[in-house]
Amino acid sequence: MGLWLLLLLLHFQLVLCVLLPAPLDVSISSFNLEHTLSFLPGPHTPSDANFTVQVLHSRKNSWRPVAACLELKAGQICNLTKTFKDLFDHYRARVQAVTPNKTSNWTMSRWFQPVSDTVLGPPDLSVSGCGNCLILQLRLPASTVLRQNLQLKDLYRELVFHVQRTRDGTQFRLNLPYEEETVITYLQPGVEYCVTVSVTSLFNSNTVPSKPQCAFTSPPSSRSSLPTVFSLMGVFSVLAFLFLGLVVYGSQLSFKLLRRRIPRTLSYIFQIRRSAPPECLNQSSAYRGFSDCLRWKSEGPD
C-alpha cells in the first residue's frame, strides 16, 4: 500500500513538476565569428514560459548558465559571441523551458568549434577603373575584437575574385592573398566588368561570396558618352537662347523709353513751328536760322 502511494506521488511529481515539453531545434549558427543560439518551444509549451541556456566547454566539463540568456522568451536568440571566446575550443549549449512550478528536459545542441563552424562572409568590396585596369579596395567586415589577438583576416587562406566582362560574359578567376588594395591589369579599356569576391578559409569551406560590384575600366567610351555631350550642348544652347532673349528684350525696352521721350521734343518743335509766322517757315530748315527769325519777328527789325 505504502509503495503504491509512493509511486502515485512520484507520478504526480513527474506530471506536475517535470513535464514541460522540451525545446526543439536547438542550434548554433555563426557568421564571421558572431555566434547565436536559436531554438523552438516544444508543442503545447505555455506561451509565458521562460527558456534558460547553459553551455559546456570541452575542457572544463561542467555546464554553466549564460547570464544574458536566463529568461528568454520563445523566438528570442541567445548571443554566444562572448561566451565562446576560445576559437579552437569545442562547445555545446542546452536549453530548458521553465515556468514557476515546472521545467522541461534539456535539449542539447551539437558540438561547436568557432573556428571551423563559422561561416566567413566576404570583405567589403569597392571597384573603380584605372585605364586598362581595375582597382579593388577591400575592407574587413566589422567584427568583434577576437581573443588571441586574431583578426578575421587571419582565418583567410586567400581571396577568390571572379571577374566578368558585362558585354559578353567572358570571365576569369583570380586567387590572391588578402590585401587592402589589389589592381587587376591587362583589361580592355572603356568596358564594364563586374567583380565578386569570396574568401577561402584555413579551417573550413563555409564561405559566401559578395554581391557583384561593377565598374568601367576607364571613363565610358565616346559612343556611350555622346548622349552626355548632346545634353550638355542642349543645356548650353538653351542658356544662350535665354541670354539672347534677354538682350533683345532689354534693347526693345530702352528703345521704347527713347521713343517715349523723342516725340515730346519733336512735338514741341512742331508746335513752335505752327505758331511761327509764315515768313520764318520759309527762312531756313536749319534750327538756328529758324529761331533767329523768330527773335527778329518778335523784337522787330532794328
Ligand X SMILES: *[C@@H]1O[C@H](CO)[C@@H](O)[C@H](O)[C@H]1NC(C)=O
Binding residues (CB under 6 A) for ligand X: these are 16, 19, 21-22, 34, 36, 48-50, 71, 79, 81-82, 98-101, 105, 144
Which helix (DSSP H) or strand (DSSP E) does residue 268 occupy?
helix 222-275
Taking the complex as a whole, the smallest distance from the CB of residue 25 to ligand X amounts, in Å, to: 15
- Strand, helix or coil at 281? helix
Looking at the Cβ atoms of 79 and 218, the one nearer to ligand X is 79
CB atoms inside a 10 Å sphere around CB 171: 11
Buried-state track 157-168, b at ≥16 Cβ within 10 A, e below 16: eebbbbbbbeee
Looking at the Cβ atoms of 81 and 166, the one nearer to ligand X is 81
Taking the complex as a whole, the smallest distance from the CB of residue 59 to ligand X amounts, in Å, to: 22
Looking at the Cβ atoms of 82 and 261, the one nearer to ligand X is 82
Looking at the Cβ atoms of 48 and 299, the one nearer to ligand X is 48
Q: In the beta sheet, which residues pair with residue 57? A: 91
Looking at the Cβ atoms of 93 and 215, the one nearer to ligand X is 93
Looking at the Cβ atoms of 50 and 218, the one nearer to ligand X is 50
How far is 79 from 68, CA to CA, in rounded Å?
8
Looking at the Cβ atoms of 36 and 207, the one nearer to ligand X is 36
Residue 14's closest CA among 103, 112, 118?
103
Greatest C-alpha distance within the chain: 171
Q: Return all residues near 188 (Cβ < 8 A) that are at least 6 apart.
A: 132, 165, 217
DSSP letter string, 90-150 = -EEEEEEEEETTEEBPPEEPPPB-HHHHPBBPPPEEEEEE-SSSEEEEEEPPP-PPPGGG-
Taking the complex as a whole, the smallest distance from the CB of residue 136 to ligand X amounts, in Å, to: 27
Taking the complex as a whole, the smallest distance from the CB of residue 242 to ligand X amounts, in Å, to: 56
Taking the complex as a whole, the smallest distance from the CB of residue 74 to ligand X amounts, in Å, to: 11
Taking the complex as a whole, the smallest distance from the CB of residue 47 to ligand X amounts, in Å, to: 9
Taking the complex as a whole, the smallest distance from the CB of residue 227 to ligand X amounts, in Å, to: 46
Taking the complex as a whole, the smallest distance from the CB of residue 19 to ligand X amounts, in Å, to: 5
Eight-state DSSP code of residue 19: -
How far is 302 from 296, CA to CA, in rounded Å?
9
Looking at the Cβ atoms of 19 and 232, the one nearer to ligand X is 19
Q: Which three cell numbers stand for residue 87?
A: 576559437
Residue 33 identity: L
CB distance 143 to 32 below 8 Å: yes
